[in-house]
Structure 1
């Protein structure tokens, strides 16, 4: 009764002053849209690599020295300035789309500003989250950095020169961190050293960075080709190789002896508070580490029960751990002879689900899609991943699959669920549809929240049976294994960083509860050690989307349409989960 009364009162008030406020409201929205666009453009100047990845070529020659105090101050001022600008707007006067933008921006700016109290610059890179590794992708000639015009080639050389400065700052920050008690775990540093050393070659033409020279367009003149070749050979010899050498030498000779034996942020000064902040940042919730941990324990128990059912269904005699070992080692689950067969198997998954995909989704991205093998230089430490395409469709979205040895590539690793998550309808649909939606302000088109983006992708894994997949019990087991993997993350990530769980105990917990090799578990645990709380977003976001779907199916009955639900989930792009839930509830009310 109270809600109805307030709603009726609002209608009367709006009707009484509708004419007077119409132009005023439109003006406010126009000013707000202008502020959002300025925020986005200024953000690209601060993050030119991000601009490159979305296909904006204006800053392809820039590489910010993001560990320098000058850059940190500039970044902080940027966030403070726009938070002040945001406060000048009356949220209530904005239209619905602008209210979402307001809430998104407010959450992002406040969270960013809170983060400046922690010295993230003391950890310039690690074995997974590393500009030196990304730089190899960009400079290979086949990544996001374009090499189609002479200017493109000139732009890259400017970035190369800036990379040497970036590396000097990174070494300086590693030293400052070590002096203040902030050092990476030894287990991570030993992985970083060979990554740097792998870029050291005897001659320029052996370098990964020589790729653009081999791909010089035929339309270039002979003089242009000769000039580019000489300049790139010189850059590789005198800048790139020496930069990777000094990074590797510093890590080997100075940093490694100071690296810590502990695994989590709890061992760092003020580490518990820092980790609690990262949990809130990465989940876009107010959940505490302990709440996340308890959810993880419950989910591990639930999924374990479902796994046991499949084990019994296929008639396997033995416990779950023995079943995991059987799936990991039996040669019948390793049928491939070469990488091409593996890539073709993933494309087959795509083709098999296409008919049902059209029933469950009203919109399909225009952005092209490709499946590629991960480049050899980074395959050993890489996971399967999706690299977004450009909004103009010139660069496709790419699903990368690391294949070290095709003959040992295991089908029970969850190939179908992996494709649903990393490719279609997971990251490719969500990211591409958002980028293609010109009705959104650019900072939302090209932004993202870990919990929403990864939550959507994990939710997509649960759609396997509805899409006609998971008919093979071992693929269903693989899907459950992937879900278990994300549930285990809730347990071990929190335990490592706030409960003093060791790297070795975390690896054991993972291998005890899922079909993963010790090598695979080691890479995963070390990822959580290097990028705390990031892995928590997957399960947190997926559980929220599934919770809302179940709720609306029950409330709406025959009025619930799954394709319409998916459209609403995706149409406004990534949002903090609290903002997302409020938006979805408004949609559900409108369906009644």
Structure 2
């Protein structure tokens, strides 16, 4: 499978330019060539207009200029607006020859071309319009985080509070449109699987039935900055009360009643995206979007089966090391249920353990990384309103570094929290995984602004999964159960290749995917169910981790073999991280040039 994987990745280079002449694709720019300022201005224009078009992304990046905006992405006119935006910049790119650009600008041109193409392809499908809400990925959950007052939306000034009121007014229109679109989806065959609807219903039940002063969206009123005057507090309290009582809560009630009746009744019995119109075509698009390759579902499925087999053999070695007598499946159950691996009684103890992992590996980070981010970092428990369906995750800090990056970990019940994979989890979600990768990108003054907030899952998640394998080099995995946890997390990503393609392209049911996971990993059944339903909600995203990891590992092995004593792991990591999120074929081309320059 490795040769297939390599050839397919290489083939994707064909997609990363915008109708260039063949002679341009091989034209290397000398280091002394002047930077094309017109092209830089185009990149700035793209970034500025994109922030206006997607103001939630601007807020998440720490740009406060559009904190009062919430465009209704479910309206046809908004779809036309985004298509016009990407068409415009795609056509503008064609006027710039590679021979007139610096090497860095050529990279930006290729990245921007990819960004335009994949966004236009996404717009050609109806999924986002007619299935706008799911249990894990959709914008309503992001707004819930904002409403808590502990996320990207600031609540420090009176203007901040008034911005949020304006944004909520527009969000209320989106909620109404979501219901309209879902009713349209029922008629056209675009409906979530029933099992996912059952997970969304409780989320809206809480929002619909919670009393005003206990409501999530009332939280900012409970946390006024001390500098606010009594008059300001009173005025804002009245306005928030009115918005909640007259607009938001009625909309939440309407959606909740719709979800638990008409929508649930219409829910699909099948599990894969191939159960909706154009589902097969959409899945191939999703594969390209999330892996940045032209691999097929069959190729990825077979790659996953091979990786599962390889990792199982490594797990057998750990089972023998700890002296467990019984089958590997029995060992999975033992690890899942081992009370010694559930030592905590409070969420704080779990948070403290993650911070202790960080302290333990700090001395070794210097050996592997020459560049480290300046942006701060903290660990937090996932908010209660979304904790039941959430996975551990990383939320980036602001572009200016004033807001720290956050590693969120769900802790529904501290007494049942199993620690066996905590070291690998911290490496992936926090340091040196997403926190290093995203923060270094945001802090890189040599990158154009639009590339500081781009996200290509194959690169971003591939890097984070790659870093899990650095544990022994960082002084971790001295406990065999923690090493088994790393294998378990890698297995988890290998299984994704099998079950994601199984459900969306091979007719697998949700139950078959759950059974396959239970047979091949040590995650709890509840966690596995949540994960399988996550893949159902966002087809293809789960494929990106392993595809990206395998490419980075392949590039490291190649560099080490070719360079020999000249290979410097710190510089290799710098080369991987310095250009930020880029499609895998561009990354491979970059590393090959670096190897050649040193050779």
Q: TM-score, normalised by structure 2?
A: 0.94
User: Following TM superposition, by how much is the alpha carbon of 1:116 offset from its aligned partner in structure 2, in angstroms?
Assistant: 2.4
More moved, 179-188 vs 484-493: 179-188
Q: Which residue of 1 aligns with 2:486?
A: 479
State yes or no: 1:519 paired with 2:502.
no
Q: Which residue of 1 aligns with 2:13?
A: none
Runs of 4 or more consecutive aligned structure 1 residues displaced over 3 Å after TM superposition: none
User: Following TM superposition, by how much is the alpha carbon of 1:254 offset from its aligned partner in structure 2, in angstroms?
Assistant: 1.4
Q: Distance in 1 between matches of 2:355 and 2:68?
A: 36
Q: Secondary structure at the match of 1:245?
A: helix
Q: Which residue of 2 aligns with 1:568?
A: 575
Provide the aligned length of Structure 1 versus Structure 2.
574
Cα deviation per residue 1:223-278 (whole Å; 9 max; x = unaligned)? 11111111112222222211211111111121111111000012222211110111
Q: Which residue of 1 aligns with 2:358?
A: 350
User: Following TM superposition, by how much is the alpha carbon of 1:70 offset from its aligned partner in structure 2, in angstroms?
Assistant: 0.5
Q: Distance in 1 between matches of 2:252 and 2:210?
A: 13
**Structure 2 unaligned regions, length at least 5:** 1-22
User: Following TM superposition, by how much is the alpha carbon of 1:201 offset from its aligned partner in structure 2, in angstroms?
Assistant: 4.1
State yes or no: 1:195 paired with 2:203.
yes
**Counterpart among 248, 265, 287 of residue 240 in structure 1:** 248
Q: Which residue of 2 aligns with 1:263?
A: 271
Q: Which residue of 1 aligns with 2:87?
A: 80
Q: Which residue of 1 aligns with 2:477?
A: 470
| 1:23-422 matches, cutoff 5 A | 25-26=34-35, 29-120=36-127, 121-412=129-420, 414-422=421-429
More moved, 197-206 vs 102-111: 197-206
User: Following TM superposition, by how much is the alpha carbon of 1:415 offset from its aligned partner in structure 2, in angstroms?
Assistant: 0.2
Q: Which residue of 2 aligns with 1:578?
A: 585
Q: Secondary structure at the match of 2:473?
A: coil
Q: Secondary structure at the match of 2:336?
A: helix
Aligned 8 A contact 1:553 1:560 in 2: yes
User: Following TM superposition, by how much is the alpha carbon of 1:10 offset from its aligned partner in structure 2, in angstroms?
Assistant: 8.3
Q: Distance in 2 between matches of 1:124 and 1:234?
A: 26
| 1:409-488 matches, cutoff 5 A | 409-412=417-420, 414-488=421-495
Q: Distance in 1 between matches of 2:338 and 2:211?
A: 43
Q: Which residue of 1 aligns with 2:4?
A: none
**Counterpart among 531, 535, 538 of residue 528 in structure 1:** 535
**Structure 1 unaligned regions, length at least 5:** 1-5
Cα deviation per residue 1:54-95 (whole Å; 9 max; x = unaligned)? 000000001110011000000011010000011110022211
Q: Secondary structure at the match of 2:408?
A: strand
User: Following TM superposition, by how much is the alpha carbon of 1:48 offset from its aligned partner in structure 2, in angstroms?
Assistant: 0.4
Cα deviation per residue 1:368-398 (whole Å; 9 max; x = unaligned)? 1001111111111111111100021221100
Cα deviation per residue 1:491-537 (whole Å; 9 max; x = unaligned)? 00001001000000000000000001221111111111110000100
Aligned 8 A contact 2:27 2:98 in 1: no
User: Following TM superposition, by how much is the alpha carbon of 1:200 offset from its aligned partner in structure 2, in angstroms?
Assistant: 2.7
User: Following TM superposition, by how much is the alpha carbon of 1:176 offset from its aligned partner in structure 2, in angstroms?
Assistant: 1.8
Q: TM-score, normalised by structure 1?
A: 0.95
Q: Secondary structure at the match of 1:145?
A: coil
Aligned 8 A contact 1:295 1:490 in 2: yes
Cα deviation per residue 1:467-497 (whole Å; 9 max; x = unaligned)? 0101100000000000000000000000100
Aligned 8 A contact 2:209 2:253 in 1: no
Q: Which residue of 2 aligns with 1:553?
A: 560
Q: Which residue of 2 aligns with 1:496?
A: 503
More moved, 556-565 vs 329-338: 329-338
Aligned 8 A contact 1:36 1:441 in 2: yes
Cα deviation per residue 1:189-237 (whole Å; 9 max; x = unaligned)? 1111111111134532111112111221111122111111111122222
Q: Distance in 2 between matches of 1:270 and 1:408?
A: 42
Q: Distance in 2 between matches of 1:202 and 1:353?
A: 43
Q: Which residue of 2 aligns with 1:3?
A: none
User: Following TM superposition, by how much is the alpha carbon of 1:183 offset from its aligned partner in structure 2, in angstroms?
Assistant: 1.2
Q: Distance in 2 between matches of 1:168 and 1:219?
A: 36
Q: Distance in 2 between matches of 1:225 and 1:458?
A: 46
User: Following TM superposition, by how much is the alpha carbon of 1:14 offset from its aligned partner in structure 2, in angstroms?
Assistant: 7.9
